[in-house]
Amino acid sequence: MAAWGERLAGVRGVLLDISGVLYDGGEGGGAPIVGSVEALARLKRSQLKVRFCTNESQKSRGDLVGMLRRLGFDISEGEVTAPAPATCLILKERGLRPHLLIHDGVRSEFDQIDTSNPNCVVIADAGEGFSYQNMNKAFQVLMELENPVLFSLGKGRYYKETSGLMLDVGPYMKALEYACGIEAEVVGKPSPEFFKSALREMRVEAHQAIMIGDDIVGDISGAQRCGMRALQVRTGKFSPKCRA
């Protein structure tokens, strides 16, 4: 393995995943991962550009940043690339009106979006909102469309809360894909468009950036496919079984 200096040569920007890297979510807002508040502060004092690239879709960026600041992190809303605002841009560009199967905590991000007479479905990590009734409603909306369009805010398999592993949006995306015989459009990691938008916002080229995350697929492979370097932490959902 090459020395760290060599592996990080030419790096100008750092993209940080949030859940599992900065903190583990859970009851009462979750808890910072040991050392992460200090590590971020040190990064911010360095010459490196820092940006946050998250698939968080249970909270609006405002709520997410507020929670992280209360935990001690130096972070502001303008530094966060997240799937919900990226989805709103796509919906507006394509004139789509979504049926939303999302967590109440992120609903405010869609305030400016017309949801009447829906012609597509948007799903995000809805947590308890993934009831049979809500899934069936999303399914029925899709089946009534001539060309069903399904957006999924990320496609993570699961994440880790302080209470244990929790199903993410990905399994529910797969459920609707199978039920309707369609393929979802993923907005969020590991979509290349999503990483590219984060790089644009950071004003750093892919070969000058490193992604730090706990998800071998969403963070690591995704970033590498975009020409970035990537580093997997051993916190969050990291498991020695899931390195391949």
CB of 60 to a copy of itself, least distance (A): 20
CB of 227 to a copy of itself, least distance (A): 27
Q: Are the CB atoms for 137 and 115 separated by under 8 Å?
A: no
**Contact positions vs a copy of itself (CB under 8 A):** 126-133, 135-136, 139-140, 143, 157-158, 164-168, 170-172, 174-181
Specify the residue, 57 or 81, whose C-beta has the smaller distance to a copy of itself.
57
Element at 53 (helix H, strand E): strand 49-53
Specify the residue, 57 or 208, whose C-beta has the smaller distance to a copy of itself.
57
Q: How would you classify residue 135: left for phi > 0, otherwise alpha for psi between -120 and 50, otherwise beta?
A: alpha
Q: How many CB atoms lie within 10 A of CB 192?
A: 14
Contact residues for 156 (Cβ-Cβ < 8 A; gap 6+)? 55, 125, 168, 169, 170, 215, 218
Q: What's the CA dihedral at 116, 64, 53, 221 to 10 degrees?
A: -90
CA distance 40 to 225: 25
Specify the residue, 10 or 171, whose C-beta has the smaller distance to a copy of itself.
171
CB of 132 to a copy of itself, least distance (A): 4
What are the Cα distances from residue 56, in Å, to 102, 137, 225?
12, 23, 21
Specify the residue, 33 or 176, whose C-beta has the smaller distance to a copy of itself.
176
CB of 171 to a copy of itself, least distance (A): 4
CB of 163 to a copy of itself, least distance (A): 10
CA distance 2 to 6: 6
Specify the residue, 173 or 228, whose C-beta has the smaller distance to a copy of itself.
173
Specify the residue, 59 or 61, whose C-beta has the smaller distance to a copy of itself.
59
- Which residues are registered as beta bridge partners of 15? 51, 211
CB of 80 to a copy of itself, least distance (A): 26
